Chain A
Amino acid sequence: MKVFVFGGSEGLGEHVLKALDAKGHEVVTVAEAENRAEELKMIGADEVIISKDEGVGKGAAGVDAIIYIAGASQGAGENQGTLVDHEAVIESLEAAQREKVERIVYLSPVRLDESEESKKTGGKHKPEEWIKKSAFSYTVIRTVKTVSKPGNGTIEAGETVDADSDEIPHEDVAAVLVGALGNKHTFNRAFEVAQGKTEIEEALSSL
Chain B
Amino acid sequence: MGKVTKYLPSAIMTSSVAAPLAYMAYMYQKDDRQKQHAILRNFPLLGRVRYISEHVGPELRQYLFAEDNEGEPFSRLEFQNVVKAGKYNERLLGFGSDRDFKEEGYLIRNSLFPKLSSEMRIDNTEKTNTYKYIIDNEGLFSRKEHREETQADPYLLRDEDAIVLGEGRCRQPFHLKGQVGMSAMSYGALGERAITALSRGLGIAGGTWMNTGEGGISDHHLAGDADLMMQIGPGLFGVRTPAGEFSWEAFKEKAEMEQVKAFEIKLAQGAKTRGGHLEGKKVTEEIARIRLIEPGKTVNSPNRFIEYDSFPKLFDFIEELREVGGKPVGMKIVVGDIEGVEEMVQTMKESGKGPDFITIDGGEGGTGATYQELADSVGLPIMTALPIVDDLLREYGIRDRVKLIASGKLITPDKAAIALGMGADLINVARGFMISVGCIMAEVCHTNTCPVGVATTDDKLQEGLIVDEKLYRVTNYVTSLRAGLFNMAAAAGVDSPTKLERKHVIYKDHKGRLSSVGSMVEEIKD
Contact = CB atoms under 8 A, between A and B. Distances in A.
Given A33-B119, A36-B118, A148 B125 contact: no
B120 interface: yes
Contacts of B148: 149
Interface string B307-322: 0000000000000000
A168 B389 CA distance: 52
B152 A148 contact: yes
B492 to A, nearest CB: 16
Interface string B121-165: 111110101000000000000000000111110000010000000
A149 B132 CA distance: 11
B116 interface: yes
A35 interface: yes
Contact of A149 (B120, B121, B151): B151
B123 A32 contact: no
Contact of A35 (B119, B129, B151, B152): B119
Nearest to A43: B125
B154 to A, nearest CB: 12
B495 interface: yes
Contacts of B151: 11, 148-150, 169-171
A159 interface: no
Contacts, number: 46
A32 B125 contact: no
A198 to B, nearest CB: 21
Interface string A30-65: 011111101100110000000000000000000000
Interface string A12-30: 0010000000000000000
Interface string A144-167: 000111100000000000000000
A35 B495 contact: yes
B125 A150 contact: no
Q: Is the interface of B mostly helix, strand, loop or mixed?
A: mixed
A6 to B, nearest CB: 16
Contacts of B119: 33-36
Interface string A79-114: 000000000000000000000000000000000000
A31 B119 CA distance: 10
**B119, B120, B125 — which one has the most chain A CB atoms within 10 A of its CB?**
B125
Contacts of A169: 151
A11 B129 CA distance: 13
A10 B151 CA distance: 12
A149 B158 CA distance: 24
B392 to A, nearest CB: 34
Interface in B484-526: 495
Contacts of B149: 149-150
A148 B127 contact: yes
A32 B129 contact: no
Given A35-B119, A36-B118, A149-B149, A14 B125 contact: yes
Contacts of A150: 129, 149, 151
Contacts of A32: 116, 118
A32 B116 CA distance: 10
Interface in B96-125: 116, 118-125
Nearest to B127: A148
A36 to B, nearest CB: 4
Contact of B118 (A31, A147, A149, A170): A31
Interface string A115-155: 00000000000000000000000000000000111100000
Given A169-B151, A171-B151, 14 more contacts: A11-B127, A11-B151, A14-B124, A31-B118, A33-B116, A35-B121, A35-B122, A35-B495, A36-B118, A38-B158, A39-B125, A42-B158, A148-B152, A149-B151
21 contacts: A11-B127, A14-B124, A32-B116, A33-B116, A34-B119, A35-B118, A35-B120, A36-B118, A36-B119, A38-B121, A39-B125, A39-B158, A42-B123, A42-B158, A43-B125, A148-B150, A149-B148, A149-B150, A150-B129, A150-B149, A170-B151
Interface of B: 116, 118-125, 127, 129, 148-152, 158, 495
